[in-house]
Amino acid sequence: MNKVIHINLGGMPFIIDEDAYEALRDYLAAIHSHFRNSEGYEEITADIEARLAELFRESMGHRQIVTMKDVQEAIRIMGTPEVFEAEGESAAEGDAAPSGKQDAGAQPRWRTGRRLFRDPDDQVLGGVCSGLAAYLGIEDPIWVRLAFVLFTLSGGFGIPLYIILWIIVPEAKTASDRLAMRGEPINVSNIGKIIEEEMSQLSKRVSEFAEELGKEDWGGKKKSGRQRA
């Protein structure tokens, strides 16, 4: 199951999966920040949005909902700001930062500080410790976990503290949450990286699940993996 979101893209209404929405939003943010200081900024971005809407319509066919695949395909056709810079715009025009050299200037230039999330990819219980480790910049969450255990054993209130954090700290659900958790800048290439990681994890889970099915053919039950549209 997946939550969906209603959007208006280039004057057309779409129903879009939440993860696909996040990816699209981040992509458009990168596009807008790339063209912000270009002549005709509004027209360029409106043209791009209208064309993305059209690409979605084409790749959806009779489906009702825009999925991550549709977004990825549209981004592949439209390209990222890094590619525009390489093949289209001459260095003399358009670009916002005169200080930005080829490589540095190609990245959208906003950066988020780290935010505290629970890390669903690396969890023993609720992912609190690995999220804390990412927040504090500690490479291996084992140290945070050990600290929690020691704290509890030495008579501290480690267990209630963990439970409170579990409740109040949100889980890093989307690609941009995960980037914010690690303190990486949110841009299209990073989002792409996260999505790729997610896809490979998903396929790993599927093959593990398939293996397990093979082993326990006589009715071993396993909780089914997250279902995706």
Partner 1 sequence: MKIENAIAQMRKGVLELCILGIISKGEAYPSDIIRSLKEAKLIVVEGTLYPLLTRLKNAGLLDYTWRESTSGPPRKYYHITPKGREFLNQLLLNWNGLVHAVEESTRHLQQTTSDNE
Q: How far apart are CA 135 and CA 113, in angstroms?
A: 10
Q: Determine if 43 is a binding residue for partner 1 (CB under 8 A).
A: yes
Q: Determine if 83 is a binding residue for partner 1 (CB under 8 A).
A: yes
Task: Give me the least distance between CB of 98 and partner 1, in Å please.
Answer: 18
Q: Determine if 78 is a binding residue for partner 1 (CB under 8 A).
A: yes
Alpha helices in the chain (DSSP H): 18-35, 41-60, 68-78, 81-87, 102-105, 128-136, 142-153, 158-168, 175-182, 188-215
Q: Determine if 192 is a binding residue for partner 1 (CB under 8 A).
A: no
Please identify which residue in 1, 3, 6, 11 interacts with partner 1, judged by CB under 8 A: 11
**Do residues 93 and 144 lie in contact, with contact meaning Cβ atoms separated by under 8 Å?**
no
Structure tokens at 205: 């889970």
**Could you give the angle at the alpha carbon of 45 between the alpha carbons of 191 and 3, nearest 5°?**
45
Site for partner 1, residues 131 to 170, rule: CB under 8 A = none
12 vs 116, which CB is nearer to partner 1?
A: 12
Task: Give me the least distance between CB of 57 and partner 1, in Å please.
Answer: 5
Q: Determine if 54 is a binding residue for partner 1 (CB under 8 A).
A: yes
Q: Determine if 84 is a binding residue for partner 1 (CB under 8 A).
A: yes
Burial grade of 52 (CB within 10 A; 0-12, 13-18, 19 or more): buried
Number of residues that bind partner 1 (CB under 8 A): 32
Cα four-point dihedral sign 181, 24, 78, 72: positive
Q: Determine if 53 is a binding residue for partner 1 (CB under 8 A).
A: yes
Q: Determine if 12 is a binding residue for partner 1 (CB under 8 A).
A: yes
Please identify which residue in 29, 50, 65, 96 interacts with partner 1, judged by CB under 8 A: 50
Q: Determine if 8 is a binding residue for partner 1 (CB under 8 A).
A: no
| Type of residue numbered 104 | A
Neighbour tally for 128: CB within 10 Å: 26
Contact positions vs partner 1 (CB under 8 A): 10-12, 31, 35, 38-40, 43-44, 47-48, 50-51, 53-54, 57-58, 77-81, 83-84, 86-90, 93-94
